[in-house]
Amino acid sequence: MAEKIIFHIDVNNAFLSWESVYRMQAEGKERDLRTIASAIGGDKAKRHGIILAKSMQAKKYKVQTGEPIVDALRKCPHLVIVPPRHEIYLQYSEKFMNILKNYSPDVERFSVDEAFVDMTGTEKLFGKPRQAAECIKKEIYDTLGFTVNVGISNNKLLAKMASDFEKPDKVHTLFPEEIQEKMWPLSVRELFFVGKAAEKKLNSLGIYTIGDLARTDKEILQSVMKKQGETIWNFANGKDVSFVEHHKESNKGYGNSTTLSFDVSDVSTAQMILLSLAENIGRRLRKDGVKIEMVSVGLRFFDMTNASHQCILEHPTNITDEIHQVACQLLEEFWDGTPVRLIGIQTGRVTEGEGVRQLSMFDNTDYEKLERLDKAMDSIRERFGSGAVKRASLTEKRNKPL
């Protein structure tokens, strides 16, 4: 049996890279945001919002992802801040995933900008693992214009750890025989699944490096950290038995989610992300000529726990604004501001045909106008591309009450 070969492929500074590439390729702009002190964030004029991504030059001024824009501008007054365009980023994400599928049928999307690829048995097609990794990396850059890191190992955990080594535009290996040299000297915080709280507990036990963790009695860890203690002990020793799983989209509903590179804790950013997700779902619903009667919002928190909330609509819909408003209401009902890493919308109870909407004297919403707006936007995007038109609320803070 061929040795397992798993790649973890991670886009370098995804949002900033995708924004830079789009500006140069689609809009003809000469300045590459990646070469100057720049960031993706909220409205600079209004000085609200947070930093979603920053360039290497901005990092030199200690600008941090997730910090308020006003704080970033104090550190770097000449920081160039551009608003996020999540629709465009999702397009690049799909193109990135499609290239990976040319190399293996087993591609697992781990987040919007990273994926696992099972390359076992592909050596005759693409060469040895490092050669294949360089080939993938080059094709992504030549075709899409941005760089990636590739981590190579025989399991997912070690491949992901390898891809986080020196960046950008690098290929790294981390096979079991390399763990002690390459992984054990790292801070325990660098280990997957170890957050701030876990790091504090481990430090209290005198555990500061991954090597310290790997050499600690597993029972001690379990007594202090329960199931997580056993999990991170296995990870520190390079043990991971999970498979690369290709998740097929359910035909019973339409959904979309995104994993961010930072923890979201403010409502305005979460609502903006929900709008981008609702836009994608609504467009697909209208293209297929169907409507939905159930909307669910799901969150994955910083500690990898999950929560969701759903509701049944009074009337079937495929209107973007209506889906977004319902999603925002659900978010308000069950989210207490705990930092989240993943935000998603899932819909269900799909119906075909126009459906019937009963009028209410208490509802003054002009649904026909919203439908015409969606139809016009869909038509423009169909002719000129998805980035040809966007809603202003994807770049401005929504002041509209829910």
Residues 259 and 165 in one domain: no
Structure confidence at residue 42 (pLDDT): 66
Residue at a domain's end among 109, 136, 169? 169
pLDDT of residue 30 exceeding 50, the answer is yes
Structure confidence at residue 382 (pLDDT): 64
Residues 5 and 125 in one domain: yes
Residue at a domain's end among 144, 169, 194? 169
Res. 398 pLDDT band, cuts 50 70 90: very low
pLDDT of residue 140 exceeding 90, the answer is yes
Angle, in degrees to the nearest 10, between helices 320-334 and 367-384: 110
Q: Which of 139, 133, 159, 169 is nearest to 56 (CA)?
A: 169
Res. 399 pLDDT band, cuts 50 70 90: very low
Residues 136 and 16 in one domain: yes
Question: Got the DSSP string for 20-47?
Answer: HHHHHHTS-----GGGSSEEE-S-TTTT
Structure confidence at residue 372 (pLDDT): 74
Residues 52 and 156 in one domain: yes
Q: Look over the chain and give the mean of its residue pLDDT values, rounded to a whole number.
A: 85
Structure confidence at residue 261 (pLDDT): 66
4 alpha-carbon distance from chain centroid = 26
Res. 196 pLDDT band, cuts 50 70 90: confident
Q: What is the CATH number of the domain that holds 34?
A: 3.30.70.270
Q: What is the CATH number of the domain that holds 345?
A: 3.30.1490.100
pLDDT of residue 348 exceeding 90, the answer is no
pLDDT of residue 401 exceeding 60, the answer is no
Res. 385 pLDDT band, cuts 50 70 90: low
> Which of residues 89 and 170 earns the better pLDDT score?
170
Contact status, residue 107 vs residue 246, Cβ threshold 8 Å = yes
Structure confidence at residue 123 (pLDDT): 93
pLDDT (mean) for 180-202: 90
Flag the least confident range among 86-95, 171-180, 181-190.
86-95
pLDDT (mean) for 185-214: 91
Residue 342 CA to residue 311 CA, distance in Å, equals: 20
> Which of residues 143 and 376 earns the better pLDDT score?
143
pLDDT of residue 48 exceeding 70, the answer is no
pLDDT (mean) for 66-73: 86
Q: What's the alpha-carbon Rg for the chain, to the nearest Å? A: 23
What range defines the domain where residue 357 resides?
Answer: 255-394
Residue 134 CA to residue 170 CA, distance in Å, equals: 9
Distance in angstroms between the alpha carbons of the first and the last residue of the chain: 57
Using one digit for the tens of pLDDT, what is the confidence trace for 286-343?
888 889 988 999 998 876 677 888 888 878 899 999 999 999 989 988 887 888 889 9
Question: Got the DSSP string for 210-248?
Answer: HHHHHHS-HHHHHHHHHHHHHHHHHHHTT---PPP---P
Q: Is residue 228 part of a domain?
A: no
Amino acid in the structure at residue 238: G
Structure confidence at residue 363 (pLDDT): 44
pLDDT of residue 362 exceeding 50, the answer is no
Number of domains making up the chain = 2
pLDDT (mean) for 233-262: 77
Q: Is residue 20 part of a domain?
A: yes
Res. 197 pLDDT band, cuts 50 70 90: confident
pLDDT of residue 350 exceeding 90, the answer is no
For residue 350, what is the DSSP state? -
Structure confidence at residue 394 (pLDDT): 45
- Residues noted as catalytic: 114
Q: 66-80, 339-353, 382-396: which has the highest mean pLDDT? A: 66-80
Structure confidence at residue 56 (pLDDT): 92
Residue at a domain's end among 136, 169, 202? 169
Share above pLDDT 70 across residues of the chain, in percent, rounded to a whole number: 84
Structure confidence at residue 353 (pLDDT): 59
Q: Is residue 67 part of a domain?
A: yes
Structure confidence at residue 237 (pLDDT): 96
